[in-house]
A and B are shown apart, each in its own frame.
With several copies, the nearest count.
Chain A
Amino acid sequence: MSEEPRDVFKLSRDWLSVQEVVDAVSSSTCGAISVFIGTTREDEVEGRKVVGLEYEAYELMAQSEFTRLCAEVRARWPTVTHVCVHHRLGWVKVGEASVAMAISSPHRHDSQQAIQHSISRLKASIPIWKKEVYDTEEASWKENAECSWSSSSREK
C-alpha cells in the first residue's frame, strides 16, 4: 500500500481548479484531504476600492522553497502523503482564488495541522509578491505579516 510521496507546485496564469488540486493529492491510502483556498476580498483602502491583484514570482526559487517547505512538513508530520499547491500569477480579479493547497494523510489530524502550518510557511518563505490595484488605477505592494522582513515583523 506504500506510495511515492508527491510534492506538486504549479504557478498558473489561469483560473485555479480546486478539483485538480484535490485530485493531485488523493490516494487510496489516505482517509483525509485538507484544503485551503485563499481569495481576494472586496475591500476599500482609504476610500479606494480594490479591483484586483497583480502577482509575480521568482519562479525557480519558488519551486525550490516549496520543495524545502514540503521536506520540513514531512519531517514534522511523517504521515503526510501528498502535497499540492497551485498559485496564480499575473492579474487576479477580486473574488477569484489566488492559491489552493491540498494535503492528504491517512488520518485527518495530520493533514489539518500540516495545512495550517504550510500556509503560514508559504506566506513566510515562498518568493511571490502581489500588488493591490485600486479603482483609481493606483496600486500598492502588499507584505505578509508572516514574512520575517516585512514592516509588521520589523516593528516587533
Chain B
Amino acid sequence: MTAQVLVLYFAKSAELTSVREEVVAVPTSVSSQDLWTLLLQRHPRLSAVQGQVVLAVRQQYVDICDQLVALGDGDEVAVVPPLSGG
C-alpha cells in the first residue's frame, strides 16, 4: 500500500534538493529510517546532512530511527535541519 504525501524541505535541505516541496509515493507504514532512505534516493545530495536532521510527520517531530510511521494520502512530511530561530 502506498500513500501520496507532500514532502517539504527547509533551510539547508531545500538548498540541497533545489525543491521546497514535492509529492512522493511512500509506503503507508514505514520506519522513519526507511522514509529518510527513500528521500535520499530521490536526492542523493541530502547525504550531506545525513545524521544532522530529523523529520516532521503531520507537524510532529520524528527522529530518524526504527520507529514506524503511518502515512495517508495528503499527509505532510518535512525534512527538518537543526533549528536556528530566535
Which residues of A approach B to under 8 Å, CB–CB?
38, 55-58, 60-62, 64-65, 87, 98-99, 119, 122-131, 141-144, 146-147, 149-151, 154
Q: At the interface, yes or no: B81 with Cβ under 8 Å from chain A? A: yes
Which residues of B approach A to under 8 Å, CB–CB?
8, 10-12, 51-54, 56, 59, 61, 63, 78, 80-86
Also in contact, A58 and B52, with CB within 8 A (given A123-B85, A128-B83, A128-B85): no
CA distance A119 to B53 in the complex (A): 22
Residue of B nearest to A55 (CB): B85
Residue of A nearest to B80 (CB): A127
Q: List 20 A-B contacts (CB under 8 A).
A: A57-B85, A58-B56, A65-B59, A123-B83, A123-B84, A124-B83, A125-B61, A126-B83, A127-B56, A127-B83, A127-B85, A128-B83, A129-B10, A129-B84, A130-B84, A141-B81, A144-B85, A147-B82, A147-B84, A149-B63
Tell whether, in the assembled complex, residue A147 and residue B83 are in contact, meaning their CB atoms are under 8 Å apart: yes
Main secondary structure of the interface of A (DSSP, over half): mixed
Shortest CB distance A155–B (Å): 12
Tell whether, in the assembled complex, residue A149 and residue B11 are in contact, meaning their CB atoms are under 8 Å apart: no
Tell whether, in the assembled complex, residue B59 and residue A64 are in contact, meaning their CB atoms are under 8 Å apart: yes
Taking A98-B86, A149-B52 as given, write out 15 further A-B residue pairs in contact, using a Cβ cutoff of 8 Å, ordered by the A residue number: A55-B85, A60-B59, A61-B59, A119-B86, A123-B83, A124-B83, A127-B56, A128-B85, A129-B83, A129-B85, A130-B84, A141-B81, A143-B84, A144-B86, A149-B53
